[in-house]
Amino acid sequence: MVENKFPGKDITLEDIETKFPLAAKKSAQHKSKFLVSGVEFGGDLIPVFAGPNMVESEDLILDVAINVKRSGAHFLRGGAFKPLTFPYRSPKYNETREKGIEWLGKAKEKVGIPIITEVMEEKYIPLVAEVADILQIGTRNMQNFPFLTACARTGKPIMLKRHYGASLRDWLGAAEYILLEGNTRVILCERGVSVPHTHRATSRFLLDLQVVPAAQEVTHLPIIIDPSHATFWRPWVTPMALAGIGAGADGIMIEVHPDPPNSAVDPLQPLDYEEFSSLMNRSNAVARALGRRVL
Amino acid sequence: MVENKFPGKDITLEDIETKFPLAAKKSAQHKSKFLVSGVEFGGDLIPVFAGPNMVESEDLILDVAINVKRSGAHFLRGGAFKPLTFPYRSPKYNETREKGIEWLGKAKEKVGIPIITEVMEEKYIPLVAEVADILQIGTRNMQNFPFLTACARTGKPIMLKRHYGASLRDWLGAAEYILLEGNTRVILCERGVSVPHTHRATSRFLLDLQVVPAAQEVTHLPIIIDPSHATFWRPWVTPMALAGIGAGADGIMIEVHPDPPNSAVDPLQPLDYEEFSSLMNRSNAVARALGRRVL
Amino acid sequence: MVENKFPGKDITLEDIETKFPLAAKKSAQHKSKFLVSGVEFGGDLIPVFAGPNMVESEDLILDVAINVKRSGAHFLRGGAFKPLTFPYRSPKYNETREKGIEWLGKAKEKVGIPIITEVMEEKYIPLVAEVADILQIGTRNMQNFPFLTACARTGKPIMLKRHYGASLRDWLGAAEYILLEGNTRVILCERGVSVPHTHRATSRFLLDLQVVPAAQEVTHLPIIIDPSHATFWRPWVTPMALAGIGAGADGIMIEVHPDPPNSAVDPLQPLDYEEFSSLMNRSNAVARALGRRVL
Amino acid sequence: MVENKFPGKDITLEDIETKFPLAAKKSAQHKSKFLVSGVEFGGDLIPVFAGPNMVESEDLILDVAINVKRSGAHFLRGGAFKPLTFPYRSPKYNETREKGIEWLGKAKEKVGIPIITEVMEEKYIPLVAEVADILQIGTRNMQNFPFLTACARTGKPIMLKRHYGASLRDWLGAAEYILLEGNTRVILCERGVSVPHTHRATSRFLLDLQVVPAAQEVTHLPIIIDPSHATFWRPWVTPMALAGIGAGADGIMIEVHPDPPNSAVDPLQPLDYEEFSSLMNRSNAVARALGRRVL
């Protein structure tokens, strides 16, 4: 056997110096802090993004905006442009998209809550960037490098979701593309990885909380978690959100819908208003026990 | 294509009724509570097992027993008989084994702390059962069914580690073998699963915290977590322990050594006394924020 | 970040020298050749083990023995003692076990075909060893080290199945336990590993054919494949068997049943006699194209 | 526990009818056959794509073109535009790109061999499409849906690599995007998936050959395999190529370089001319044993 020392997907000191120097920490204490629409990331506050999977209608998104803000959410999330595994779109989906962005804009104005929403295609970047306070790059676009660069150039803060099959090393490489454009407000988001066993037919992914301390060991970028997409199962969302805070996550993203079983997409995962309010209170209690805060 | 409805590794209602009826919950609130040497499992308390990977010497185990007890640990853990991936044993290892059990017994008597230790072979069950308050069955023996039955018949409480490649369904099937012998004090222990990406060369496993709410949805058995073996990396142990409490774990197992870099085995993962004491305090704060307690 | 050079689950030159020196190749050409009941392993011949998942009755096993021998199978396989994920046995299963071994013995005598069958418990080793020409150690017992040693001491050839979650390194460590007892006739068997995606609800495992050249690079032991258990799906068994021969496998294990849909266990995976006969002919054609042979 | 029947990543009959009707087989015998530059796909011939990872220079690509054609390769492959995990490009890489496409064009003209090369960005589609006979879409772009559509609209045959973390269902969904544009010449390419264990530090992926019969059970599209990228290790390339033919693959993609250790990228995986020639002869022998052919 010929031995070799190929590092595989593991991170080496050389990687840190030559592959993602901008994403890498310069010292043990190095951590990015930045403001987005008045909300601080990377500090004691653990910001919460909440809202429906899909911006179903103007009324719905307004109602959700009012309710999640009341419970203490810092950002309203909602999907207008959504990646679809199959090309056959429901009429519902075709109706939203541009409209969805418009409705998010109205909710933002009326309720006074900043917006995070996904952008999927280069041609829609200007449209989305006009309303969104944070541009969300989805799991499937994590290594769509020209698109990362185009998003970065808007100067807007960017939340980069980890691909469900990507290593931490690959993820930091993708973040480096954004940082290289001079855009320093990058938020990493863990949303579940593909693993051999996921406990239920419904749950296709496993929320990788070990990546939270692993990322914080090598990068100064804030890292948040999305337990809704990872678990795909409402009863597990709150425990995994609390777990994420225990692990040291710098933010949480939660799906909230006034009537989960009638959600237009993925009805098994959103919390209702009451569950979300309870999650906020419990999250805050855990955060405060650790010297941080949600509320 | 011929469709079929094979459930694979997912848990169905039929499984619950016919495959592991004793391990399955009978109602949403159903949860086992039981005492082991005066410590309650399955209730508000989150018991902590702490100690070295290997019972290196009488002095070492006594010193650890005193120190982890002082910090609030409920059980002393320590490996006397250890599974070895390769058959070539260090002289150190051959010295311990029976001796290790004896030393654990002395530490128990002198310090007044109950013991959990692994039993690996049927012929040593009586020896181990004389000293151990809980018999630990390791990841590699999870589906060694005759051995599970033999351990169960001692009447001793049993901690059943999940195999690093096992589904929740397989794990509950293994627990059912123990319960079927009339032994009701079974504790499940998640210790990390094999996944495609684990962030560092050192970390071979990912602590699956999603299995905590997943298990609690179907079984009444308490489930604890072992972040030391899962992460194999000292800086991640405390965040993952806190995460586990957030996820709802019913106990924690932590490796502690007075001088981690000089631990006889796996020197990258144990906490020292001070780190362990800090972990206990932070764990307790998180637990209390959620209506439970460690101390 | 502190870098470290921990090799994880990868095989290093040091492993080869110190962890499994008996299993390791001594030179690039080093390959074990040995006879079992007149059949050569590790040479040009690619022996085939065929038979039902379960030895359902004396008549069934006799009928299968006659038919698989006629098609060229070298060994009759059949499960008498079987590991069961859940402790509730069908009456059918309780009937077989000792009886199953007896029936295998009769088929062996009448048809003149050697036997491979699983042994699961130390106390049954003598019973099984009396009839079996090869002792099969199942996936769940791969790291049941005292059991490996006990089987090894019979002097019988041993087929060691890889655990579905085990690395090649762990597998060779287990083989080393057997070799260390002076038992040199060890056959490795790949039977599918747990992976994130397996294509159908029925198929829980992926046949890892890459492990064939990977194993042959470091060990002199013959390695065979079991596409029936890996695919769990009849239409994929023949393509994967042929693929295994392409990859360089030193043997094949195939489930065969006269009436697959009415097989007592796992009815989705066995081939019928005609399909098996066709598999043998096609396997032989591929083997001969590569300078080896099945028939 | 509330049971649910969510199919997860498994393929159901409903998927076939509503999610990827164009990619789905209409009958058991349904298989697409089409010509690309005179070479038939989906029939008895198993076309081979061969060439260097990177089009390093005009001389190199010309030399490779001559040599792989002489050994029987049907297409010349070579990377001009390449996805880079990290944004820091070697000067070497910046030199090629447009130049690389030009050099491929010259080799095509001089040697008379058709070309397959990767296209990575929408703006370069016209440039690449002028020279390439088949557009290659890489693993990281598999679910870059707007890009799939843009490539499809060129009318050029498309080879769609599977993402290393994607299920078969997701892959067929991506193919459906291309087919929906009326582009029917779609070739699937399996290039290795992320799994828990991959045998060596160098090998980050496992070639999933089980996906070959799994895909052929549900889709009429030809499926080829890329053992070079999957194994990342020269000694395993030939065995896995032969295994792929055994599994029923409709084509093979192989990295070939005149001087592998001095390959500009990934020097551990290319075959040299002699090894490639031997692979062609052995592949052809296996293919002919199964009623197909490479040469």
pLDDT of residue A6: 47
Determine the distance in angstroms separating the CA of D4 from the nearest CA of chain A, rounded to an integer: 7
**Cβ–Cβ below 8 Å for D213 and C239:** yes
Task: Flag whether pLDDT at B51 surpasses 80.
Answer: yes
Cβ within 8 Å of residue D262, ≥6 positions away:
none
Question: Closest partner residue to D3 among B1, B12, B165, by Cβ?
Answer: B12
pLDDT per position as a tens digit, D69-93: 999 999 999 999 988 899 998 777 7
CA-CA distance, B46 to B44, in Å (whole number)? 6
How much of chain B, in percent, has pLDDT values that exceed 90?
84
What global pTM score does this model have? 0.95
Residues of A contacting chain D (CB within 8 angstroms)? 4-9, 18-20, 83-88, 120-123, 140-141, 143-147, 163-166, 169-170, 173, 176-177, 180, 194, 196, 198, 200-202, 204, 268
pLDDT of residue B5: 46
Task: Flag whether pLDDT at D150 surpasses 80.
Answer: yes
CA distances for C54 relative to B254, C82, C90, C253, angstroms? 43, 8, 12, 14
**Cβ–Cβ below 8 Å for D209 and C245:** no
pLDDT of residue A4: 43
CA-CA distance, C272 to B113, in Å (whole number)? 61
Determine the distance in angstroms separating the CA of C156 from the nearest CA of chain D, rounded to an integer: 29
Task: Flag whether pLDDT at D8 surpasses 60.
Answer: no
Question: Closest partner residue to C289 among D168, D200, D289, by Cβ?
Answer: D289
- Nearest CA among B131, B54, B63, B51 for reference residue B96: B54
A60-64, A242-246, B84-88, C68-72: the lowest-pLDDT one: B84-88
Does A203 or D139 have the greater pLDDT score? Answer: D139
A75-89, B181-195, C43-57, D56-70: the lowest-pLDDT one: A75-89
CA distances for C113 relative to C43, C66, C108, C116, angstroms? 20, 9, 5, 10
Task: Flag whether pLDDT at B43 surpasses 80.
Answer: yes
Contacts of B165 in chain C (CB under 8 A): 163-166, 193-194
Distance between alpha carbon D80 and the CA centroid of its chain, in Å?
15
Amino acid at D48: V
CA-CA distance, B195 to D75, in Å (whole number)? 36
Chain A interface mutation, best of D19, D85, D172, highest count of A Cβ atoms under 10 Å: D85
Residue keyed to tokens 């049907």:
D74
**Cβ–Cβ below 8 Å for D25 and B165:** no
Contacts of B22 in chain C (CB under 8 A): none
- Across D98-114, average pLDDT: 97
Q: What is the DSSP letter of B140?
A: G
User: Which residue is closest to C216 within chain D, CA to CA?
Assistant: D236
**Cβ–Cβ below 8 Å for C144 and B140:** yes
Task: Flag whether pLDDT at D5 surpasses 50.
Answer: no
pLDDT-derived band at A29 (thresholds 50, 70, 90) equals very high
Determine the distance in angstroms separating the CA of D201 from the nearest CA of chain A, rounded to an integer: 6
User: Which residue is closest to B206 within chain D, CA to CA?
Assistant: D196
pLDDT per position as a tens digit, A105-127: 999 999 999 999 999 999 999 99
**Cβ–Cβ below 8 Å for B194 and D194:** no
Contacts of B141 in chain C (CB under 8 A): 144
**Over chain B, what is the mean pLDDT?**
93
Structure tokens at C235: 């239409």
CA-CA distance, A228 to A266, in Å (whole number)? 10
Residues of B contacting chain C (CB within 8 angstroms)? 4-9, 18-20, 83-88, 120-123, 140-141, 143-147, 163-166, 169-170, 173-174, 176-177, 180, 193-194, 196, 200-202, 204, 268
Task: Flag whether pLDDT at A211 surpasses 60.
Answer: yes
Structure tokens at B258: 């007075």
- Across C276-290, average pLDDT: 98
A148-157, A193-202, D124-133, D221-230: the lowest-pLDDT one: A193-202
- Nearest CA among B96, B186, B98, B100 for reference residue B148: B186
Task: Flag whether pLDDT at A42 surpasses 60.
Answer: yes
Amino acid at D155: G
Contacts of A19 in chain D (CB under 8 A): 85-86, 88
Contacts of A173 in chain D (CB under 8 A): 85-87
Amino acid at D271: L
B237-246, B256-265, D243-252: the lowest-pLDDT one: B256-265
pLDDT per position as a tens digit, B97-149: 899 999 999 999 999 999 999 999 999 999 999 999 999 999 999 999 999 99
Contacts of D202 in chain B (CB under 8 A): none
Work out the end-to-end distance of chain D between its first and last CA atoms, rounded to an integer number of angstroms: 58
Determine the distance in angstroms separating the CA of D199 from the nearest CA of chain B, rounded to an integer: 12
**Cβ–Cβ below 8 Å for B201 and C20:** no
Backbone dihedral angles phi then psi of residue B4, each to the nearest 5 degrees? -145, 165
pLDDT of residue B245: 98
pLDDT per position as a tens digit, A169-204: 999 999 999 999 999 999 999 999 998 887 776 677
Residue keyed to tokens 């144990």:
B270
Beta-strand (E) ranges in D47-163? 48-51, 75-77, 115-118, 134-137, 158-161
The H or E element spanning position A34 is strand A34-36
Question: Closest partner residue to B165 among C8, C147, C164, by Cβ?
Answer: C164
User: Which residue is closest to A205 within chain C, CA to CA?
Assistant: C196
pLDDT per position as a tens digit, D189-203: 999 999 888 777 667
Task: Flag whether pLDDT at D6 surpasses 50.
Answer: no
Determine the distance in angstroms separating the CA of D191 from the nearest CA of chain B, rounded to an integer: 16
pLDDT per position as a tens digit, C108-140: 999 999 999 999 999 999 999 999 999 999 999
* Cα-based torsion angle of the residue sequence B60, B64, B67, B68 in order, rounded to the nearest 10 degrees: 180
Determine the distance in angstroms separating the CA of C240 from the nearest CA of chain A, rounded to an integer: 21
Determine the distance in angstroms separating the CA of C12 from the nearest CA of chain A, rounded to an integer: 6
Task: Flag whether pLDDT at B70 surpasses 90.
Answer: yes
User: Which residue is closest to B6 within chain A, CA to CA?
Assistant: A201
pLDDT of residue B1: 45
Determine the distance in angstroms separating the CA of B235 from the nearest CA of chain A, rounded to an integer: 8
pLDDT of residue C198: 77
Length of chain C: 295
**Over chain C, what is the mean pLDDT?**
93
pLDDT per position as a tens digit, C147-167: 999 999 999 999 999 999 999
Cβ within 8 Å of residue A24, ≥6 positions away:
A16, A17, A172, A218, A219, A220
Does C194 or B35 have the greater pLDDT score? Answer: B35
- Across D148-172, average pLDDT: 96
- The pairing of strands A158-161 and A134-137 is parallel
**Cβ–Cβ below 8 Å for A145 and D87:** yes
Chain C with chain D: Cβ pairs closer than 8 A? 150
pLDDT of residue D250: 98
User: Do D49 and D116 meet the contact criterion of CB atoms below 8 Å apart?
Assistant: yes
Determine the distance in angstroms separating the CA of A13 from the nearest CA of chain B, rounded to an integer: 11
Chain D interface mutation, best of C198, C209, C211, highest count of D Cβ atoms under 10 Å: C209
Contacts of D178 in chain A (CB under 8 A): none
- The pairing of strands A158-161 and C39-41 is unpaired
- Across A29-45, average pLDDT: 98
Structure tokens at C209: 């054919």
- Across C218-237, average pLDDT: 96
pLDDT per position as a tens digit, B268-290: 899 999 999 999 999 999 999 99
Q: Which chains neighbour A (Cβ–Cβ under 8 Å, 3 or more pairs)?
A: B, C, D
